[in-house]
């Protein structure tokens, strides 16, 4: 089973046609998950979450009542706890629901403390095993995570630009077969290698490292029809 | 002299009344800087940049002509170079113009490779001396950077939430006198400590580390009048 989750980030960052994407996912048997205010946003879209996680302290009693009527599995997190709601959601879908992969929407934009938690939570030791099974999507970006090793990075249509991000210290980073290559690079601190691209005729490039988590940020500029 | 710079990030992330802020800054004698498309955005706001930096490859010839007529110092960067336009701007204002501080707008949102470059560029050895003199501002966040040492973090009105971010491995991180404290914390990887707050009666808290750059992210939720 796959899972798709909506967090409470600003709607302005949602991909186009998010409702249709989520509806289609649920119709295909994927687990639909709401995180905190994201659960309410799912109800507002006319979708019933299969699982809702959060402390829900920003919801009115009537909103929480509506959620309780429409969601079979609500897990209340404890504020001032160790795991953030986002981390708790990732652990729950992979451990309790044994899903194979997770697509996250509503994780970007807005408050930067929330945004960076969502981007960097996979660095925690208990989260690293799930990193490669997750993608974070918004209207301009798709983010995928890679543990050390050798990875073939596939082209995604609609996303012409590639950023390679070592989220932490990295040893022997190699970017091979992309427009801009890098060989045997070491760094004690994170770097975003932005504005890279696939070579015109190639559908993939190779990314390797001996140590340090990497992310690939697929991105695109907004076009006029994107309703900036 | 102080400097204020506008980058080419999405207008939706601009603070309210950005034009007035920039106009006021220039009237007070601050250096007004445009970075790449941000230079054009300044002209569109009716403001003439004192300095413009970029490769300007996304500008039409007529737009570049307009910029050349209205800006006394244009520095053309070389695409496919080592420094990004953002880094080149920071180095130019501090080295060539000897400014004391720099406020950056238009650095957030949009393409995540650009956004993360702007947040993490101060980790490069040649950039670290400037980190504490810079703040990055958008409609919901203000970000300040701190090298190792002891720092008093002052309350900013309008920003109730605080995130503490070790941008890299950190040794002996202490957050003392905030709502949530942390003592003698070590990590080999970056962490965002989000949703912290000032104590009700206090106007500051203390942040210290022995090693590792830190950022303080002041943030706020959007309110109804914010025109989400």
pLDDT tens digit string along A128-154?
A: 999 999 999 999 999 999 999 999 999
User: Most distant CA pair in chain B: distance in Å?
Assistant: 57
Residue to mutate among B112, B118, B171, B218, with most A CBs inside 10 A, is: B112
d(Cα A224, Cα B110) in Å, to the nearest integer?
A: 14
HSE, side-chain direction, 13 A CA sphere, residue A115: 24
How many CB atoms sit inside 10 A of residue B29's CB?
8
CB contact under 8 A, A190 and B167: yes
Residue B48 has a pLDDT of 98
Shortest CA distance from B216: residue in chain A: A113
* pLDDT above 70 (res B224): no
Characterize the bridge pairing of strands A134-137 and A101-105: parallel
pLDDT for B194-203, tens place per residue?
999 999 999 9
Q: Please report, rounded to a whole number, the percentage of residues in chain B having pLDDT higher than 70.
A: 97
Q: Which domains does chain B have, with CATH numbers?
A: 2-139 (3.40.50.10240), 145-226 (3.40.50.10240)
Contact B215, B145 (CB under 8 A): yes
The answer, for A78 touching chain B at a CB cutoff of 8 Å, is no
In this structure, what are the phi and psi dihedrals at residue B20, rounded to the nearest 5 degrees?
A: -65, -40
Residues forming beta bridges with residue B20, ordered by sequence position: none
Residue B228 has a pLDDT of 47
Residue B57 has a pLDDT of 87
Q: Which two tokens stand for residue B227?
A: 């025109």
Contact A39, A28 (CB under 8 A): no
Residue A100 has a pLDDT of 98
Residue B79 has a pLDDT of 73
- Give A-chain residues touching B114 at CB under 8 angstroms: 194-195
pLDDT for B9-33, tens place per residue?
999 999 999 999 999 999 999 999 9
d(Cα A208, Cα B219) in Å, to the nearest integer?
A: 36
* pLDDT above 80 (res B226): no
Q: Please give the average per-residue pLDDT across A75-97, as a whole number.
A: 92
Q: What is the DSSP letter of A143?
A: E
Characterize the bridge pairing of strands B2-6 and A214-219: unpaired
Torsion of CA A33, A39, A44, A45, to 10 degrees: -20
* pLDDT above 80 (res B225): no
d(Cα B71, Cα B93) in Å, to the nearest integer?
A: 15
Rg (CA), chain A: 18
Q: Please give the average per-residue pLDDT across A173-202, as a whole number.
A: 97
- Give A-chain residues touching B123 at CB under 8 angstroms: 189-191
* pLDDT above 70 (res A227): no
* pLDDT above 70 (res A228): no
Residue A224 has a pLDDT of 57
Q: Which two tokens stand for residue A36?
A: 């905190």
Residue B58 has a pLDDT of 85
Residue A184 has a pLDDT of 98
CB contact under 8 A, B113 and A11: no
Q: Please give the average per-residue pLDDT across A183-212, as a whole number.
A: 97
HSE, side-chain direction, 13 A CA sphere, residue A49: 31
* pLDDT above 70 (res A176): yes
ipTM summary value: 0.95
Shortest CA distance from B81: residue in chain A: A180
How many CB atoms sit inside 10 A of residue B48's CB?
17
């Amino acid at each position: 089973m796959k899972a798709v989750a909506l967090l409470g980030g600003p709607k302005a960052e949602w991909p186009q046609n998010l409702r249709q994407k989520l509806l289609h996912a649920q119709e295909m048997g994927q687990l639909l998950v709401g995180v905190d205010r994201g659960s309410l946003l799912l109800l507002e879209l006319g979708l019933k979450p299969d699982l809702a996680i959060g402390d829900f302290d920003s919801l009115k009693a009537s909103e929480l009542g509506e959620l309780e009527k429409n969601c079979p599995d609500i897990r209340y997190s404890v504020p001032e706890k160790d795991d953030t709601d986002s981390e708790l959601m990732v652990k729950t879908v992979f451990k309790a629901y044994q899903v194979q992969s997770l697509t996250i929407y509503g994780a970007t934009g807005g408050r930067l403390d929330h945004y960076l938690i969502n981007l960097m939570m996979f660095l925690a030791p208990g989260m690293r095993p799930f990193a490669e099974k997750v993608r974070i999507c918004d209207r301009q970006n798709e983010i995928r995570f890679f543990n050390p090793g050798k990875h073939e990075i596939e082209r995604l249509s609609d996303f012409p630009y590639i950023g390679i991000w070592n989220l932490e210290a990295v040893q022997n980073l190699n970017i091979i077969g992309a427009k801009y290559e890098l060989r045997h690079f070491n760094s004690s601190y994170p770097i975003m290698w932005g504005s890279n691209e696939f070579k015109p005729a190639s559908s993939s490039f190779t990314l390797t490292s001996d140590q340090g988590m990497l992310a690939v940020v697929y991105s695109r500029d907004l076009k006029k029809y994107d309703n900036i």
